[in-house]
Structure 1
Amino acid sequence: MRRSSTTLSTLLKRRVIELFAGQPAGSVDFTVTADLGTPMADGTVLLGDLYRPLDAGPQPVVLIRTPYGRSQLLGRVFATVLARRGFTVFQQSVRGTFGSGGVFRPFTDEHRDGLDTLAWVRRQEWCDGRVATTGASYFGHTQWAVAPYADPPLVALSLHITSASIRDLFYEHGAPGSLNAIGWSDSIARQEEPQPAPLLAGFGRRRRVVRALSTRPLREADVTSTGQPVPFWRDFTEHAAPGDAFWDVADHDGADLTRMPPVNMVTGWWDLFLQAQLHDYAALRAAGVPARLTIGPWLHGRRPELQEILRSDLEWLEHHLQGGPAPEGAAVRVQLQGTDDWLGFETWPPPQATTDRRYLTADAALAAEPPERAVPPSTFTFHPDDPTVFDGGPLLFAPAAQTDDWRAEQGIDVLVLTGQVEPADLDVVGPVRATLHVRPERDHADVVVRLCDVDEQGVSRNVVDGIRRLDPKTVPADDVTVGDDGVLTVDVELFPTAYRFAKGHRLRLVVAGGAFPRFAPNPGTGRSLAESTDGPPCRFEVFHDAQHPSHLRLPVLPADAARVPAPGSPVRS
């Protein structure tokens, strides 16, 4: 079905979309041909909408594949903004969503369907053979599922707030990210139903999904939340074992990255994809792929993040598809949280950062020098049936991002260590790690580390955290070794950041055996996540003596590091 673009009502709607996206008015008129059927190799037909400039001949095509609906705001924003700048856009609903045939089994069909769709697009009379892709979040996964395998290669990619490895995203260092997984399961199960106001929907979903995570066995949490089984949640709980081959089809971090075209990336310091995406960026650059990266102070999918995605996409695609000027400035631009500054680098992590170590001490402090004597270990006990609560962090639902950490720090099931007052601003920019020497009571346990910023009034706010799930199947490993005394040396990767600890503030480290509701509590029994029930308590010993110097490693940037204009600002000469 072809829709005309000439009515005043249609033009006004498109201008409203551009205003939402933070973009000036485009000048190109276009038509939309809706519900074009794309046949897959197995006979399933997927539906897509073609946005095409009036009177255009064959030209490059921007391909977008989404599970969230072509007529929903997110779908319309990408397609409309690009079409108003003269791009031909084909936006397709993935298998089993919004009119497309088949059953939606997230992440498992996008490789096959994406390659079939790409081949079909290239055969159409409106395509000159050149194809670029764009999109954020799941839209980004559909790009990863195609780009390393496309023959001939794609012209350009825009891999925003996404990652090549679904396994690393949902099982962070082996720990199941239950809150994001059940929240997303709840969303996709209801997305084609009439929705209440967004604020009410978000508030109700948070309460519903957190309550659902108390369901036992955990496999049934989807029924508690949505009233019915949700295929993705069942896959998430039933295939959580280390190395489960089920996710192999959805992971593309092992693909031949030298086949990738130039890549544009936007993400946020509080985005759940951040850690995995920065690993992707480093791997792409190591493979020789031209790539640009922007990181702002954003949560996943919030409007400011989407506006920067669209702004940078227009610049990126105009260069690669329309012969426009190449983007200027540093390849990597990051916002330094706690300031209004943006920093520019040619690589990530920034090579000019130096390592600052802070050592855990017996008197619950963080010291600049390593311990020199033998002292007893500190202890705490984790209770799976009453798990440690960590608010904030890279979550899809509030309370997310940076919050007051009082709930976690007041408990007796954590170890809290606080440093001295900082004599000057401390700019931590890059990957943060902690090496802990621990002896948990059980072979199955989680080691959680959270770094906080304590202000002059004593309010402690989370900055970054990390987790390592200990399992006999994955221990020992490169990041976990076992000493002759049975003490484990665990290297915990925290989220990367660019954050200023202001003069007069203090650093605080919180060590725990769980972080609910973000991660499913470790029952300590080795039972599968799907069958998980509350398990016995687990006592932890944390060592901080001369033989076991547990410590935090901070990448610190010099105070004179170069500042750059904010995204969208004129580049200084």
Structure 2
Amino acid sequence: MMRRLGVTALGLRNGPHRVTVERDLEVPAADGVTLLADRYAPADVEGAPTVLVRSPYGRRGPFGLMCGQAFASHGFQAVVQSVRGGFGSGGVFEALDEREDGLATIEWLKSQPWFGGTFAMHGPSYLGYVQWAVAAEAGPALRALSMQVTASTFREAVHVGGTFALESTLIWVDLTARMKNSLSGLTTGIMSPRRARRATLSGKPIAELDRLATGEQQRFFQELLVNGPDTSFWDKRDFSPTVSRVTAPVNMTGGWYDIFLPWQMRDYAALRAAGRRPYLTIGPWFHADQRMMRRSVGDSIAWFRAHLLDDPSELREQPVRLYITGAGEWREFPDWPVPGMREERWHLQPAGALSPDPPPESEPDAYRYDPDHPTPFLGGPTLLGETRPSTDQRRLERRRDVLTYTSAVLDDDLEIIGPVTADLYIRSNREHTDFVVRLCDVTPDGESLNLCEGMRRLVPGTPEPDEDGVRHVAVELWPAGHRFRRGHRVRVQVASGAYPRIARNPGTGAPIGTATEMLTADQEIFHSPAHPSTINLPVVR
């Protein structure tokens, strides 16, 4: 009864089945380490299909209710396992190294007398990543996957645009370092962002911030600092090459403000290119949004009923469902990118203007970036702690190290649904520097609300400058689904920092973990016929 009440308290719907629970089942890993799992089962159903959930965040409390009790009450068995190194499971937690333990768990699962012959996997974030780690090799017993706010690799999310995602990485390292038991789990989700933010504001070198946040040096954090996106460190942790080989039907849920959204969309594209028909839902959500978590359980139950119980009655007809911000409505489509989408290039103009018209001859705009006083960020994608990811940007836009380009008032609604990119023509006195581009919606009263953003770290020769020292910088922003309403304006921000979302660029080329010397960067943004900087919008008319 208490578990059913707990499910209701989380905003979930209980099913008709009474649930029994077996605690601390021992699962042998390939190296002999014992991993612990809890099994939830409908008391009146023999051999029900199983939902497997593997988590570094514990298997009791909210996770047990959302991933165990809820599924079992709807007629599925649910096995909720603690991954290696936490909550009673043996060994040492090796972040992102989940393939072997996942496959061993599946072999154990298939050998159990209560196993009914088929299973699915469910879970958000890391719980979704562990699905990709085994999906291509799990065999025909795997009938469905349902994953939220995740991707098949975290490589680019850690090193977004070649930068280093400092705040989210530090939060996650603190979160996993402390969540070893249920008591710490009650407060860690609240305190980890605060500890991470305090550490990033200390002025200490980045390599010391893990100790400031967690009380001790964290090996995984140190490994991330010295292993860029192109190093072999990521080879066994990157499952994107296997996505096209996954045959089990995949249900994806994401958020416009989630840290993994661009790479989740890449996984969707890989499945479509392989002839699969995944389902995709994107809402107005950030990474740890409880609204998304609640919806995803119901969507997973419908997905599992369709593919494990041959009951598709609760599935929607169209596979893609998107929430259009600005319009405040859900829309359904047959695919992504959506039919009828057309890229329109809006040009940065002199005097801070923005329009579809080509720019006239004009001098570049200039600003100075000082890494000793890095440009901050407001809102946008972060791991935890940001409940208003779309935030008024006017305080940020008043800074001298932020340029803005704003359109005329729109005479008609302008709807964008799809990938957003930017092409900047820049000149800098530093070969090592960053550029951040942010798209905003300006309301009639002047409020500037961020929609999506992207960043790019420049190194010598990438990209190559022309004879005048001008470099063409291509920036991939987060995808967007938004309606700019009539009477609003479109705005683009250009800056060279978003601290502490991304680590500051010292300008020297020194390793970011130990760099102490900070050099200012004098930046120029061009908008001329020869160098037409643009924001490229996926317009749907």
The reply to whether residue 26 of structure 1 matches residue 9 of structure 2 is no
Q: Does 1:73 align with 2:56?
A: no
Query: After the TM superposition, which residues 99-118 of structure 1 pair with which residues of structure 2 at under 5 Å, given as runs?
Result: 99-108=88-97, 110-118=98-106
**Which range moved further: 416-425 or 188-197?**
188-197
Give 1:244's aligned residue.
231
Distance 1:182 1:153 in 2: 37
Instruction: Write the distance in 2 (CA, Å) between the matches of 1:115 and 1:313.
Output: 22
Return the offset for 1:244: 1.7
Map of 1:89-238 to 2, 5 A cutoff?
A: 89-108=78-97, 110-152=98-140, 154-192=142-180, 204-213=191-200, 214-238=202-226
Task: Classify the secondary structure of the residue corresponding to 1:363.
Answer: helix
**The residue matched to 1:120 in structure 2 has which SS?**
helix
- The equivalent residue for 1:420 is 408
Report the residue type matching 1:349 in the other structure.
P
Given the alignment of the two structures, is residue 406 of structure 1 paired with residue 389 of structure 2, yes or no? no
Would you say 1:543 and 2:532 are equivalent positions? Answer: no
1:460 corresponds to 2:443: no
Distance 1:22 1:41 in 2: 36
Q: Deviations over 1:87-141 (max 9, x none)?
A: 1111110000100001112112x01111111111111111133221111111001
TM-score normalised per structure 2: 0.95
Question: Does 1:300 pair with 2:287?
Answer: yes
Specify which of 499, 505, 509 is matched with residue 516 of structure 1.
499
Amino acid at match of 1:523: P
Q: Residue 275 of structure 2 corresponds to which residue in structure 1?
A: 288
Aligned length, in residue pairs: 538
Question: Would the aligned equivalents of 1:206 and 1:398 in 2 still touch at CA under 8 Å?
Answer: no
Counterpart of 2:522 in 1: which secondary structure? strand
Q: CA deviation at 1:206?
A: 3.6
> CA-to-partner distance for each residue in 1:204-253, whole Å, 9 max, x for gaps?
544431221244321110111121122332232232x2412112211111
- Please tell me whether the aligned partners of residues 243 and 271 of structure 2 are also in contact (alpha carbons under 8 angstroms): no
Structure 1 position 256, deviation (Å): 5.2
Residues 436 and 543 in structure 1, CA contact (< 8 A), matched pair in contact too: yes
- Which of 296, 304, 317 is the matching residue for 1:317? 304
Residue 342 (structure 2) aligned to one of 354, 358, 363: 354
**Structure 1 residue 370 and structure 2 residue 353: aligned?**
no
Preserved CA contact (<8 Å) 2:175 2:188: no
> 1:201, CA displacement in angstroms?
6.3
Kept after mapping to 1: 8 A contact 2:52/2:120:
yes
CA shift in 2, pair 1:379/1:456, >3 Å? same
Q: Deviations over 1:283-305 (max 9, x none)?
A: 11111122001111112122210
Residue of structure 2 equivalent to 1:3:
none
Is contact 2:155-2:229 (8 Å) kept? no
1:74 shift after superposition:
2.3
AA aligned opposite 2:162: G
> In 2, Cα distance between the equivalents of 1:258 and 1:399?
36
Structure 1: runs of 5+ lacking an equivalent: 1-10, 559-573
Distance in 2 between residues matched to 1:469 and 1:39, nearest whole Å: 44
Q: Distance in 2 between matches of 1:179 and 1:407?
A: 21
Distance 1:322 1:152 in 2: 15
Contact 1:331 1:345 survives alignment (8 Å): yes
Is this contact kept in 2: 1:62–1:133, CA < 8 A?
yes
Corresponding residue for 1:567? none
Mapped pair 1:556 → 2:539: yes
Task: Report the Cα offset of residue 153 of structure 1.
Answer: 5.9
Paired amino acid for 2:275: G
Separation in 2 of the partners of 1:66 and 1:319?
25
The aligned counterpart of 1:569 is none
Contact 1:21/1:306, CA 8 A, preserved across alignment: no
Offset of residue 193 of structure 1: 5.8
The partner residue of 1:387 within 348, 371, 374 is 374
SS in 2 for 1:185: helix
Q: After the TM superposition, which of the residue ranges 347-356 and 131-140 deviates more from structure 2?
A: 347-356
Summarize deviations over 1:333-357 as a string: whole Å, max 9, x none. Answer: 0011122321111111113112222
Percent identity, please: 40
CA distance in 1, matches of 2:427, 2:417: 31
What SS does the aligned partner of 2:78 have? strand
Aligned partners of 2:27 and 2:36 also within 8 Å: yes
- Structure 1's 249 and 197: CA in aligned 2 closer, same or farther, altered over 3 A? closer
Distance 2:72 2:454 in 1: 41
CA distance in 1 between counterparts of 2:395 and 2:328 reads: 29
Question: Is the partner of 2:242 in helix, strand or coil?
Answer: coil
1:275 is paired with a residue whose SS is helix
2:46 corresponding residue in structure 1: 57
Q: How does 1:307-346 map to 2 (within 5 A)?
A: 307-325=294-312, 327-346=315-334
The one-character-per-residue Cα deviations of 1:456-503 (angstroms, maximum 9, x if unpaired) are 11121111110011123xx54xxx454343311111111111111111
Q: How far apart in 1 are the matches of 2:385 and 2:288?
A: 11
What CA distance in whole angstroms lies between the structure 2 residues aligned with 1:50 and 1:196? 23
SS in 1 for 2:350: coil
Tell me if structure 2 keeps the 8 A contact 1:440–1:540.
yes
Tell me how far apart the structure 1 counterparts of residues 298 and 354 of structure 2 sit (CA, whole Å).
43
CA displacement 1:145-172 (0-9 Å, x = unmatched)? 0002223462111121100111011111
Q: Between 140-149 and 351-360, report the one with greater CA deviation.
A: 351-360
Helix, strand or coil at the partner of 2:123: coil
- State whether residues 212 and 225 of structure 1, in contact with CA within 8 Å, keep that contact through their aligned partners in structure 2: yes
Q: Deviations over 1:510-547 (max 9, x none)?
A: 11111111100011122223223341101111111110
Paired residue secondary structure (1:235): helix
Computed over aligned residues only, the root mean square deviation of the Cα atoms, in angstroms, reads 1.9
CA contact (8 A) 2:368 2:522 kept: yes
SS in 2 for 1:176: coil
SS in 2 for 1:181: helix
Contact in 2 for aligned 1:359/1:551 (Cα 8 Å)? yes
d(CA) in 2 for partners of 1:45, 1:193: 17
Matched AA of 1:555: P
* Distance in 2 between residues matched to 1:45 and 1:95, nearest whole Å: 8
Secondary structure of the 2:107 match is helix
- TM-superposed CA distance for 1:72, in Å, is 2.5
Give TM-score scaled by structure 1 length. 0.90
Inter-CA distance 491–147: structure 2 relative to 1 (3 Å threshold): same
